[in-house]
Chain A
Amino acid sequence: MKGIFAIMLAALLTDNFVLSKFMGICPFLGVSKKASSSLGMGAAVTFVMVCASVVTYPIYHFILDPLGITYLRTIAFILIIALFVQLVETALKKLMPPLYNALGVYLPLITTNCAVLGLTILNIDNEYTFGQSVINAFFSGIGFLMVLLIFSGVRSRVEEADVPETFKGVPATLIAAAILSLSFIGFSGLGN
Chain B
Amino acid sequence: MSNFKEFTKGLIKENPTLVGLLGMCPTLAVTTTAINGLGMGLATTFVLLGSNIVISLLKNVIPKSVKLPCYIVIIAGFVTLIEMLMKGYLPDLYKSLGTFLSLITVNCIILGRAEMFASKNKVIPSIMDALGMGLGFTLALTIMASVREIFGAGAWFGIKIPYIQSLTLFILPAGGFFVLGCVIAAVNKLSDKKPPQEIGCSSCPSRESCSSCQSEGGAK
Contacts and interface: CB of A to CB of B under 8 A. Distances in A.
Interface string B62-84: 00000011001100110110011
Contact of A166 (B185, B206, B215): B185
Closest 9 CB pairs of A and B: A174-B181, A178-B177, A22-B29, A178-B178, A105-B212, A171-B185, A181-B174, A182-B174, A25-B24
B2 interface: no
A58 interface: no
Nearest to A170: B196
Interface in A116-174: 117-118, 121-122, 125, 165-174
A30 interface: yes
Interface stretch (B49-57, B103-111, B116-124, B153-161): B103-111
B76 A26 contact: no
B195 A25 contact: no
Given A72-B80, A171-B195, A185 B172 contact: yes
Nearest to B182: A171
Residue among A30, A75, A112, A181 facing the most chain B CB atoms (10 A cut-off): A112
B72 A19 contact: no
B16 interface: no
Tell me the interface secondary structure of chain B in the complex. helix
A31 to B, nearest CB: 9
Interface in A97-114: 104-109, 111-114
Interface of A: 19-26, 29-30, 71-75, 78-79, 82, 104-109, 111-114, 117-118, 121-122, 125, 165-175, 177-179, 181-182, 185
Given A170-B184, A170-B198, A174-B177, 5 more contacts: A22-B29, A24-B25, A167-B195, A178-B176, A179-B174
A165 B108 CA distance: 28
A167 B76 contact: no
Interface string B83-110: 1100000000000001100110111100
Interface in B129-174: 169, 172-174
Contacts of A182: 169, 172, 174
A74 B79 contact: yes
A114 B103 contact: yes
